[in-house]
Structure 1
Amino acid sequence: MSMPAKPRRTRANLNQFSIGQLHFRNPWVVAFFSFAYPGFGHLMQHRYAPAFILIGWELFINNMAQLNVGILYSMIGDFDMAKQVLSDKWLILYVGIYMLSIWDSYRTTVDLNKQYILADREDAEISGFVIGAWDINYMDKRKPWVAMMWSVLVPGLGHLYVHKVIIGFFIFGYTVLILNGANIPLAIKYSMLGDFMQAKAVIHMQWLMYLPSIYFFILYDAYISSIEYNILCEKELSRYLRQNYQHPHFELPV
């Protein structure tokens, strides 16, 4: 008697630290986040290795080229000052990998959407509970607005709420690095004391300019991840009920 064929694809993989899953993503949205901050598009896809490499490269090359300060001066119309602060030799190195990040995140999103269609048709079994030496993870429904509110309070906590532990701790540490580089804690201290001129003076604009892209991504990804995990939970429960409780001769509607 032949053994049942092993599924070629599965919709998700549950482990102690995260839930990696396939689901439909808008390629343009993923490409936009790669445009806003290289690596974030790959982070949305759970492709941690290229994401961390690209994010680290962005932090290094952007600081060397002083790109954020150049953008700031361009936004206020001081183009001569923007030209002076930009480092041409580092800026040239920035362009190629920046474009690769956008293109690759778009391309792989299109491919992963196709893989999701095939995986959804196979309807392979998904483990709904994992227990290990480090943590316990299980399928559960979570509230998207709660994930977003925790992310507003402290970046990374929303991802921990939806059990994206790897991304959560990375985002938390990375945001703390950016906040300290921009001297935001000192600026808050001086603002609370009413010394707004000193608060303005201590802020490092090169580092501060990272924050809008980071915060917008954190809020969006925590919210969407919660929604998609809820859908995955419903699919896993639906499959379990069909396999164990549905009558074998039940006629499915056309």
Structure 2
Amino acid sequence: MRHKTEYKSPYAAAVWSVVLPGFGQLYNKDYVIGFVLLGFEFLINLNSNLNIALVHSFNGDFALAHSVVDYRWGMFYPSIYAFSIWQAFNSAKAYNARTLTNMKKRRTYYTGFFIGLVVGMDFGLFWHDFPYLNHFSVLKILNIPVFSGLTFGLLFGILGNYLEKAIYRKKKIEELA
């Protein structure tokens, strides 16, 4: 009887981790790390009041959103969030390389993006209440606790991805020379 190998979609694993850190690992059948990440997610989310701040931000009550967030705990969230997405994506890639092609995966993907995402989200959370943001009407969106982290996270993530590709390209050119 043939043993059927199962394909793991790296993008599905990443999307599951976007929904809730740890779900992508459960999709990949990495149960231990999945449950550990879920535990960290709940611990940090409950102590930082992040979901309450999200509700207030979406309702337009930004002052109340600022007042309920515990930023000491909130600064941990971007690391858990980005790591969960990165690990789920790369774990699915490695699984497919091992089972479908019998090769070892030799590199990770989107590392620069996720490092930039963590740095940008932490930067956005830390500087969310920067006094100069109120002087420029275009930058007032960055005074919202959660959205400032997401905005800076995406910007730094794109920059990190560009830098990673530039460094990887340069390394490949040097190896060929």
- Counterpart CA distance in 2 for 1:11 and 1:66 is 47
Match of 2:53 among 70, 74, 86: 70
Identity %: 31
Could you list the structure 1 runs, at least 4 aligned residues long, displaced by more than 3 angstroms after superposition. none
Deviation at 1:26, TM superposition (A): 2.2
CA distance in 2, matches of 1:79, 1:25: 40
Structure 1 equivalent of residue 83 of structure 2: 100
Query: What letter is aligned with 1:35?
Result: V
Aligned mate of 2:41, from 34, 55, 58: 58
Query: Structure 1 residue 113 and structure 2 residue 96: aligned?
Result: yes
Q: Give the structure 2 partner of residue 45 of structure 1.
A: 28
Residue 23 of structure 1 and its aligned partner are, at CA, apart by 1.7
Partner of 1:170: none
Which protein is richer in strand relative to its size? 1
Aligned-residue offset at 1:11:
5.4
Alignment check: 8 A CA contact 1:65 1:86 kept: yes
Give the number of aligned pairs: 101
Structure with the greater alpha carbon radius of gyration: 1
Residue type of the alignment partner of 2:6: H
Quick one: distance in 1 between partners of 2:97 and 2:19? 25
Give deviations 1:137-176, integer Å, cap 9, x for gaps: xxxxxxxxxxxxxxxxxxxxxxxxxxxxxxxxxxxxxxxx
Runs of 5+ unmatched residues, structure 2:
103-177
TM-score of the superposition, structure 1-length normalised? 0.37
RMSD: 1.8
**CA distance in structure 2 between the partners assigned to 1:11 and 1:70 by the alignment:** 48
Alignment-mate amino acid for residue 80 of structure 2: I
Structure 2 Cα separation of the partners of residues 30 and 48 of structure 1: 13
Q: Which runs of 5+ in 1 are unaligned?
A: 1-9, 13-21, 120-254
Amino acid at match of 2:37: L
The answer (yes or no) to whether the contact 1:40–1:51 under 8 Å persists in 2 is yes
Structure whose residues are more often helix by fraction: 2
